[in-house]
């Protein structure tokens, strides 16, 4: 029999039966721990490689500007413009310009010196938000939100893999009932990780599904419930209201839930991510961020602008399609990789 069974809540199943499989496969998945350190050389290679498009763009611009030039007012202004262009944000760019210009006018400066200053200042911004995701309840309910195509369902699968590596019992709730493909994708992740998947037919009420799932999880003291949601454009009020409804219904089962609301951000959208954080934060009460697709853009600096403006915890970043390419966020590694410096 398969380690994972897909449960349809259109019919009633015994709660004991639902969770018997979870107990059997509790320790069958072996992989990275939820917040395992990723300081090893292999991770650094993947991180720096994943951010190469950003570091090449930003690093190349810095080298071109300061090569054989003095650090005068014009050079600093051009550097500031390049930082804004890299989506680091105007406030942060002005801050860097001030640091570089202090006592250095009319002096020559090497590109690596500028990169070192930039990495140091980026790290200062990111250190307060580089926080692990801590499980403080049982079941710990995590609602995953985001716009279409941001990588929500894949992120759920990768988080499930990490949790299963800890021996946690994990329930995946196929709350993106608008897309049959999303339901199927979550079932595949359930098979891979040994997590239980609860699903209904496409078009079913997602809030009702979440209600039933969390009721079952509470009855059997499940460790973690990961709730998928349909992709929503932050400027579509009627879609955002459905997400708000899901949060309200979840709280009818467990007043303290969802214990975490993770917004999955696609790094390739650049400045639009700022709007997403603001609006999803108001509607769903976002508690933390996961940034994906950093390997597919030259605009990885947007994470710095988001951290500076909102101060929300950044729990994980994604730099590829593999399970191990979603890893806990570390400020120093990211800061040095994004400007193209060695670890």
Bridge partners of 160, per DSSP, are none
* pLDDT at residue number 18: 44
CB atoms within 10 A of CB 249: 17
Predicted TM-score (pTM) of the model is 0.85
Q: For CA atoms 33, 211, 202, 147, give the dihedral sign.
A: negative
Q: In this predicted structure, which of 73-82, 124-133, 251-260 has the lowest mean pLDDT? A: 73-82
CB atoms within 10 A of CB 126: 22
Position with higher pLDDT, 328 vs 72:
328
The DSSP symbol for 248 reads H
**Packing angle of the helix pair 15-24, 206-219 (nearest 10 deg):** 70
Contact 239, 198 (CB under 8 A): no
* pLDDT at residue number 235: 56
* pLDDT at residue number 140: 97
pLDDT category at 106 given cuts 50, 70, 90 is: low
What's 85-153 look like in SS3?
A: HCCCCHHHHHHHHHHHHCCCCCCECCHHHHHHHHHHHHHHHHHHHECCCCCCCCCEEEEEECCCCCCHH
Q: In this predicted structure, which of 24-28, 250-254, 257-261 has the lowest mean pLDDT? A: 24-28
Q: In this predicted structure, which of 49-58, 59-68, 205-214, 233-242 has the lowest mean pLDDT? A: 233-242
Nearest 10 degrees: CA dihedral of 334, 336, 341, 343? -80
Residue 174 tokens read as 């196929």
* pLDDT at residue number 232: 65
What residues contact residue 28 under an 8 Å CB cut-off, 6+ apart?
A: 3, 164, 194
Of 49, 11, 4, the residue nearest 187 (C-alpha): 4
φ, ψ for residue 136 (rounded to 5)? -115, 5
25 has pLDDT over 60: no
Average model confidence (pLDDT) for the chain? 83
39 has pLDDT over 70: no
237 has pLDDT over 70: no
Q: What's the whole-number mean pLDDT along residues 200-206? A: 90
Question: What span, in angstroms and rounded, lies between the C-alpha atoms of 58 and 222?
Answer: 46
124 has pLDDT over 80: yes
Q: Which residue has the tokens 């809540």?
A: 9
162 has pLDDT over 60: yes
């Amino acid at each position: 029999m398969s380690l994972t069974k897909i449960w349809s809540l259109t019919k009633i199943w015994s709660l004991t039966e639902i969770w018997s499989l979870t107990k059997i496969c509790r320790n069958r998945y072996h992989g990275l721990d939820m917040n395992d350190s990723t300081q090893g050389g292999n991770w650094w290679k993947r991180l720096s490689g994943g951010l190469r498009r950003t570091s090449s763009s930003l690093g190349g611009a810095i080298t071109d500007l300061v090569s054989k030039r003095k650090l005068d007012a014009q050079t600093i202004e051009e550097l500031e413009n390049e930082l804004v262009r890299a989506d680091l944000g105007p406030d942060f760019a002005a801050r860097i310009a001030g640091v570089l210009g202090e006592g250095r006018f009319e002096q020559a400066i090497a590109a690596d010196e500028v990169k070192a200053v930039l990495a140091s200042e980026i790290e200062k911004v990111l250190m307060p938000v580089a926080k692990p995701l801590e499980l403080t309840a049982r079941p710990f309910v995590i609602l995953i939100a985001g716009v279409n195509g941001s990588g929500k369902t894949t992120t759920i699968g990768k988080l499930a893999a990490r949790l299963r590596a800890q021996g946690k019992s994990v329930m995946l709730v196929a709350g993106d009932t608008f897309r049959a493909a999303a339901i199927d994708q979550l079932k595949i992740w359930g098979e891979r990780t040994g997590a239980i998947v609860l699903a209904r037919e496409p078009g079913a009420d997602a809030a009702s599904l979440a209600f039933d799932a969390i009721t079952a999880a509470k009855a059997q003291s499940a460790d973690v419930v990961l709730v998928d949601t349909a992709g929503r454009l932050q400027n579509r009020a009627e879609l955002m209201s459905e997400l708000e409804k899901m949060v309200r219904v979840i709280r009818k089962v467990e007043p303290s839930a969802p214990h975490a609301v993770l917004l999955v951000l696609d790094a390739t959208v650049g400045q639009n991510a700022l709007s997403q954080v603001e609006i999803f934060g108001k509607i769903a009460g976002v508690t933390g961020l996961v940034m994906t697709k950093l390997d597919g853009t030259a605009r990885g600096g947007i994470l710095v602008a988001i951290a500076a403006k909102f101060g929300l915890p950044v729990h994980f970043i994604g730099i590829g399609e593999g399970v191990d390419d979603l890893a806990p966020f570390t400020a120093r590694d990211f800061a040095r990789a994004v400007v193209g410096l060695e670890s």
